[in-house]
Amino acid sequence: MAELPLNFKDILADLIAQYRSRVDYLAIRVEAAEGSDILLRGNKVETLSEGISIGGHVRACHKGGWGFASFNRLSDLKNHIEEAIAAAHMVGDDETILAPVVPIQDQRILPLTGSNPRDIPLADKKALCLHYGDILRSISNKIATISVRYGDSAQRMILATSEGTLLEQSWVDMEMRFAATARNGDTVQTGRETTGSRKAYEDLQGLDAQVRSAAERAVASLALPSVKGNTYTVVIDPILSGLFVHESFGHLSEADMTYENPDLLETMSIGRKFGTSELQIFDGAAPEGHRGSYFYDDEGTPATTTQLIKDGVLVGRLHSRETAGKLGEEPTGNARCLNYHYPPIVRMTNTWIERGKTPVKDLFAGIQEGVYARNWLGGMTNGEMFTFAAGEAWMIRNGEIAEPVRDVNLSGNAFKTLADIEAIGDDFFWDESGGCGKGGQSGLPVGCGGPSLRIRNVVVGGEAIE
């Protein structure tokens, strides 16, 4: 792995001591990273690469104004500290408000439970991609194209701040994405699967059944009727529940979205009731073993578990130190950056709806005509509005799962949909496939979880989202 100088912590501590008096807050982050990237599209390996990088960034705050500078050459660090401080002085004209945290001196490695992907030869990773590609193509001659994407990364970072934090953390992340597109004349359907892990390379092996399912769904969907657009009571599986809570509600819980938007702050007021008394929603990096798990965020705040909705009532939101300070709340350890090119911003970690008490089979009872949707193909959100495309779906008739349908898109308003949850299943599933995007930082690893849900008044219909 790319290495930082052995004495670099001492170097950072000396630089912080030299410059801390010129600003209200100063943080220096340095990072060494390496990773693999493979893309198989059709019959061709389009990308096969390994890369390493060393760099860092400086954040300075003066009178509420932030200066930021990123760099690749450690020898230029002093110049970039000067740049960040100068920028902060140019824009700062108010008050620096950061919620207090206890300074941390610690060194942590996110533990693996199996093989480190960085110890696996690139040739073996390529062979794994080719194996899964062969499975996707083998399902039917109607498969027009396939893609397999593999990525892994190992990161080690050191964070030093003017408040006395001197923190070192390292972790490994990996992900695979599979897609098969089937064609019959003008009809085109796609099946997708994604998986990820921060635990072991073995988590990416032995996925034959999951990969095969993506291609089989694409082919089977060619012969299915499109759903008749309407407003239905729907039952969604835990994967869609996790996607819903992340995309539709989780982003609205990120406090930088609210303190900059007075209307949203009023809507997301603490104490407002959003759903049934059975509804419990959480976010946190403290639960171990998930892709959004860590010990400290990128400001050095310890990981927590934050309850966002308790008994249907909004009781919390996600914070950086700045948003917590400006809203008079506690920091939650949700300041994250994708890598050293970017400053930390408020991001989700692992977001989930707690399991309920209703047996899954009872979620369908009494639905005369509805839709059962599983998995996902794609989606989009715009503020509190969302549209998600289901990976597979069936009609519900007289309380029973009936014929399969395709092109099932679920649309609605996040707040209204939370209020329209009629029952919460007693099942639960963690989806580790998430790569979240915000503020130009796309692909940040997160976890999503939830139970099956029964929701009334969901708009269903439209063309499939690509």
Domains and their CATH numbers in the chain = 8-221 (3.30.2290.10), 230-460 (no CATH)
- Average pLDDT of the chain is 95
pLDDT band at 298 (very low <50, low <70, confident <90, very high): very high
Tell me the per-residue pLDDT of 92-104, one tens digit each, with 9 for 90 and over: 999 999 999 999 9
Report, as an integer, the average pLDDT of 445-453.
97
CA angle 45, 51, 55 (to 5 degrees): 150
pLDDT score of 404 more than 50: yes
Query: What pLDDT, on a 0 to 100 scale, did the predictor assign at position 466?
Result: 44
Query: What pLDDT, on a 0 to 100 scale, did the predictor assign at position 464?
Result: 43
pLDDT score of 377 more than 90: no
Query: What pLDDT, on a 0 to 100 scale, did the predictor assign at position 260?
Result: 81
Query: What pLDDT, on a 0 to 100 scale, did the predictor assign at position 433?
Result: 87
Query: What pLDDT, on a 0 to 100 scale, did the predictor assign at position 153?
Result: 97
pLDDT band at 383 (very low <50, low <70, confident <90, very high): confident
Q: How far apart are CA 176 and CA 437, in angstroms?
A: 17
CA atoms within 13 A on the CB side of 131: 15
pLDDT band at 1 (very low <50, low <70, confident <90, very high): low
pTM of the predicted model as reported, rounded to 2 decimal places: 0.95
Query: What pLDDT, on a 0 to 100 scale, did the predictor assign at position 7?
Result: 86
pLDDT score of 465 more than 50: no
| Neighbouring residues of 180: CB distance < 8 A, sequence distance ≥ 6 | 136, 139, 143, 145, 146, 190, 191, 214, 215, 218
Mean pLDDT check: name the lowest of 66-70, 136-140, 333-337, 385-389: 385-389
With CA atoms as reference, report the closest residue to 393 among 246, 240, 185: 240
With CA atoms as reference, report the closest residue to 291 among 198, 407, 403: 198
